Structure 1
Amino acid sequence: MPEKNKVYTAEITGLTSEGSGVCRIEEMAVFVPETAVGDVAEIKVVKVLSSYAFGIVDRLVTPSPDRCVRPCGAYKKCGGCVYRHISYDAECRAKDAVVRDAFGRIGGLSPQFDPFLAAEDTDRYRNKAQYPLAVIDGKAVCGFYAPRSHRVVPIEDCPLQPVAFSEIAAAVLDYINSRKIAVYNEKSGTGIMRHIYLRRGAHSGEIMVCLVARKDISRQLAPLCRVLAEKFTDVKSVILNINPAHTNVILGEKCLTLFGSDTITDVMCGNKVEISPLSFYQVNTAQAERLYAKALDYAAPTGSEIIADLYCGAGTIGLSMAHRARRVVGVEIVPEAVENAKRNAENNSVANAEFYCGDAGKVFGELRERGCAPDIIVVDPPRKGCSEETLAHIVDAAPEKVVMISCNPSTAARDAKFLCSRGYTAERVCGADLFPATRHVECVVLMSRQKS
């Protein structure tokens, strides 16, 4: 067992799903952040547990060929990126390995793995930013949280965000500081302004500015709306979201439109879509379109099928498949997203899609009782995966195919294992990078019902 505070020389042989390097010291696995496969380093052990340990690089002896510089002034300070010290090709190899490992180790499955979907753009790809506010040296600042904390690291420009986001955030901060509007304190629950939340249509260029506050301060923010509208012509909507709860949840349930429209529009997979502050919309539009195209390839509808789209959000996945289906039925728990989905169907003249609000498992069960017998089920659950109720309803519905889109390969593998134990086969899996430089990786899975 390695000794705490002792320095050892070791080679990094792998990466964890969190982006840390892995080496073996005294026959024990040691996790070392900011390292690359192939690094030989002098590693100081800083924490030893019963079956593994943590270390930091004391000196890099021989750097890995994967090492490179992907510039960011806040790297290592904020908790966003973990892969800015290695090449993008190495990052994709690591993420593909995470997907493959999850389905083998957690799922005990051996599907066909399709080529990993790497991103064409690794910077400025995000269409959404959520900046927490804090007070530093008497002034309001915004940025991102430091790793494993709620301490705000001020950020002037994040290379993952559009340049306009930094400019808008700076204008909002100038206004808050000039008007001396109190910033929310998460510990005490006092103050007013909590977050600056921005959304942008990747194809349309339309920008929504959503200001999250503890109470209604519409009158105080009215002049800011004029400032933003005059300075940034792409700003089409300014929303005040009111979140009075003493919690770290970002958004409250109440939204007030201060300027422009309640929503902004964009195009996803050829469909015009409305985006509200509370509706789910993939953060990387270009990669989401490639991911949805892979899901459509897996589903392979011929035009005669009923497709059920569970956890449907604003309906983007179901609408992308509607032109090749007899009927699309979407289920989503967020009311605003369901309303977006209905309008999106109407705005794109999609007459064969309908959307329902409620828990996916419960609503889908009710639909089945009314005779909705889907041939294909598409699920895009949150990180925690599908609920057991939803999985049970999927099994009872017995569709020919289940296509699962997931932002968490571990829960996707777990849910695939459940379905495989109840008559399905995991045929194909494809990893996709929607969040370059970060630890996150998505995947899409094709499950087919066994014929016997």
Structure 2
Amino acid sequence: MLKKNDVIEVEIVDLSHEGAGVAKAEGLVFFVENALPGELIRMRVLKVNKKIGFGKVEEFLRTSDQRNQNLDMAYLRTGIADLGHLSYPAQLDFKRKQVKDSLYKIAGIADAEVLPTLGMDEPLHYRNKAQVPVRRVKDQLETGFFRKHSHDLLPIEDFYIQDPVIDQVILFTRDLLRRFDIKPYDEKERTGLIRSLVVRRGHYSGEIMVILVTTRPKIFRIDQLVERLIEAFPAIKSIMQNINDQPGNAIFGKDWRMLYGQDYITDQMLGNDFQIAAPAFYQVNTEMAEKLYQTAIDFSGLTAEDMVLDAYSGIGTIGLSVAKQVKQVYGVEVIPEAVENSRKNAEINGITNASYVCAAAEKAIQDWLKEGIRPNVILVDPPRKGLTASFIKASSAMQPDKITYISCNPATMARDIKLYQEQGYTLKQVQPVDLFPQTHHVEAVSLLIRADSSAK
């Protein structure tokens, strides 16, 4: 019987959905970080349960020809690039397999048309947003990333997948915080002032927003800090403060203050201008988000007579991207600032046939049904937990011809597709899209058509 600290020779036979190597030994399945299919390793046993175990690589006896040998291990240890050790073409294949496997195992769909994953030409430095914890390490304020499954901060200066200008802003702000002796947050003691830095930069506009997340309102010498920041980075259009005095992992609290400029930045997507408020959701990879949304638009086969429901509409990026091609767009979103942004974004782009409400999607659908509003195309882009069963019922009650589902989690997408099938919808095709190169995350667009619909 294997026990902790045993060292055995194993072959890696697969990758888990989170990108860990999978090995089998003595009736157990082991998950091993930084190990790829086809590799032969000496593995140290870290932990053993009844059926599964966790191991780490002690020595490579044979390496995969798909291994990226040049990766700084800090990116694997923190999960910043938890698939960065795999060659990029193999990452794209892995993501397509994830989608196919989820559809088969969860929804029982074996014959789905899952297209090859759409990837990036340059799959690095793509993130337009950084959320970086600030902690004390070896008696100095540091910015970086937590090691996986811990709250130990690993100081990092080059984040590898982030816009390099964002990295520069973080380092400059870190140095200012040190110089002004602003105390970093200590989770155990619940002391210190600065918890996190959040930086956004418009992919096309280059406009920058800096958010200081603090435990209390007063920041010592804040005027000087702001002055130095905007002097060094004239592209900064917004400096915000968020106050979060609660323990736990949530980055933002409820209290927002504007320290400089305006409370949003502007960027472009698919030819429209968008105002992005500090708490609003905006895809972190603009180049691939455009491909993702364009895929959803193409799948939907929209016409000038279509009425579209944009559920989980965020700041209106998808709905406003299709508005000029259709008769009417109805959007629903629960974050008030995002709804405000979407209405403003419609105005900025001269779009008059899109309306947005702030409500739970199920509630909005029920209200629209009472008013006799029945969109024939529904676009959904839910969070990782997917759709609720009540949303699926309510949206099916509208009897749309097509439902175009944008997903950031193949498992919940497969579960939801199964429920839509029970409501009389058929899955036509799926397109995986790589919004998060070097990580195990995958987005996908699925087209569902009502079985008795004339839509093709």
Q: Give the TM bin, normalised by the shorter chain.
A: over 0.9
Tell me: CA distance 1:100–1:2, structure 2 relative to 1, closer, same or farther (3 Å). farther
Which aligned pairs between 1:284-295 and structure 2 lie closer than 5 A? 284-295=285-296
| Matched letter for residue 354 of structure 2 | A
Aligned to 1:7: 7
Offset of 1:395 from its aligned partner? 1.5
Looking at structure 2, the residues matched to 153 and 5 of structure 1 have their Cα atoms a distance apart, in angstroms, of 25
| 1:8-49 alpha-carbon deviations (Å, 9 max, x no partner) | 333222111110111222343222211112112222333222
- Work out whether residues 311 and 331 of structure 2, in 8 Å CA contact, stay in contact via their aligned partners in 1: yes
Aligned to 2:69: 69
Looking at structure 2, the residues matched to 67 and 246 of structure 1 have their Cα atoms a distance apart, in angstroms, of 39
Which region of structure 1 is more displaced relative to structure 2, 295-304 or 359-368? Answer: 359-368
Looking at structure 2, the residues matched to 228 and 179 of structure 1 have their Cα atoms a distance apart, in angstroms, of 13
- Work out whether residues 296 and 321 of structure 1, in 8 Å CA contact, stay in contact via their aligned partners in 2: yes
Structure 1 residue matching 2:78: 3-state secondary structure: coil
- Work out whether residues 5 and 46 of structure 1, in 8 Å CA contact, stay in contact via their aligned partners in 2: yes
List structure 1 runs of 4+ shifted beyond 4 angstroms: 1-4
Offset of 1:193 from its aligned partner? 1.0
Structure 2 residue matching 1:303: 3-state secondary structure: coil
Aligned to 1:95: 95
Structure 1 residue matching 2:76: 3-state secondary structure: coil
Aligned to 2:233: 232
Looking at structure 2, the residues matched to 434 and 446 of structure 1 have their Cα atoms a distance apart, in angstroms, of 19
Offset of 1:233 from its aligned partner? 1.8
Aligned to 1:114: 115
Aligned to 1:44: 44
| Matched letter for residue 390 of structure 2 | E
Offset of 1:323 from its aligned partner? 1.6
Aligned to 1:324: 325
| Matched letter for residue 432 of structure 2 | G
- Work out whether residues 327 and 352 of structure 1, in 8 Å CA contact, stay in contact via their aligned partners in 2: yes
The question of 1:416 aligning with 2:417 is answered yes
Offset of 1:393 from its aligned partner? 0.6
Looking at structure 2, the residues matched to 46 and 245 of structure 1 have their Cα atoms a distance apart, in angstroms, of 34
Offset of 1:200 from its aligned partner? 0.6
| Matched letter for residue 428 of structure 1 | Q
| Matched letter for residue 173 of structure 2 | V
Which region of structure 1 is more displaced relative to structure 2, 134-143 or 286-295? Answer: 134-143
Aligned to 2:243: 242
Which aligned pairs between 1:424-435 and structure 2 lie closer than 5 A? 424-435=425-436
- Work out whether residues 137 and 153 of structure 2, in 8 Å CA contact, stay in contact via their aligned partners in 1: no
| 1:201-240 alpha-carbon deviations (Å, 9 max, x no partner) | 0011111011111222266311111101111122111111
Structure 2 residue matching 1:54: 3-state secondary structure: strand
Aligned to 1:437: 438
Looking at structure 2, the residues matched to 142 and 218 of structure 1 have their Cα atoms a distance apart, in angstroms, of 18
Which region of structure 1 is more displaced relative to structure 2, 94-103 or 3-12? Answer: 3-12
Looking at structure 2, the residues matched to 219 and 135 of structure 1 have their Cα atoms a distance apart, in angstroms, of 18
Offset of 1:444 from its aligned partner? 0.9
- Work out whether residues 70 and 84 of structure 1, in 8 Å CA contact, stay in contact via their aligned partners in 2: no
Looking at structure 2, the residues matched to 67 and 155 of structure 1 have their Cα atoms a distance apart, in angstroms, of 23
RMSD of aligned residue pairs (Cα, Å): 1.6
Which region of structure 1 is more displaced relative to structure 2, 178-187 or 429-438? Answer: 178-187
Which aligned pairs between 1:14-25 and structure 2 lie closer than 5 A? 14-25=14-25
Structure 1 residue matching 2:77: 3-state secondary structure: coil
| 1:110-165 alpha-carbon deviations (Å, 9 max, x no partner) | 32112211122211100000011101222211111110112211111111112222
- Work out whether residues 27 and 51 of structure 2, in 8 Å CA contact, stay in contact via their aligned partners in 1: no
Looking at structure 2, the residues matched to 189 and 420 of structure 1 have their Cα atoms a distance apart, in angstroms, of 49
- Work out whether residues 67 and 86 of structure 1, in 8 Å CA contact, stay in contact via their aligned partners in 2: yes
Aligned to 2:58: 58
Aligned to 2:355: 354
Looking at structure 1, the residues matched to 349 and 191 of structure 2 have their Cα atoms a distance apart, in angstroms, of 45
Aligned length: 452
Which region of structure 1 is more displaced relative to structure 2, 22-31 or 281-290? Answer: 22-31
TM-score (structure 1 length as normaliser): 0.96
Gaps of 5+ in 2: none
Offset of 1:4 from its aligned partner? 4.5
Structure 2 residue matching 1:75: 3-state secondary structure: helix
Aligned to 2:390: 389
Looking at structure 2, the residues matched to 71 and 31 of structure 1 have their Cα atoms a distance apart, in angstroms, of 20
TM-score (structure 2 length as normaliser): 0.95
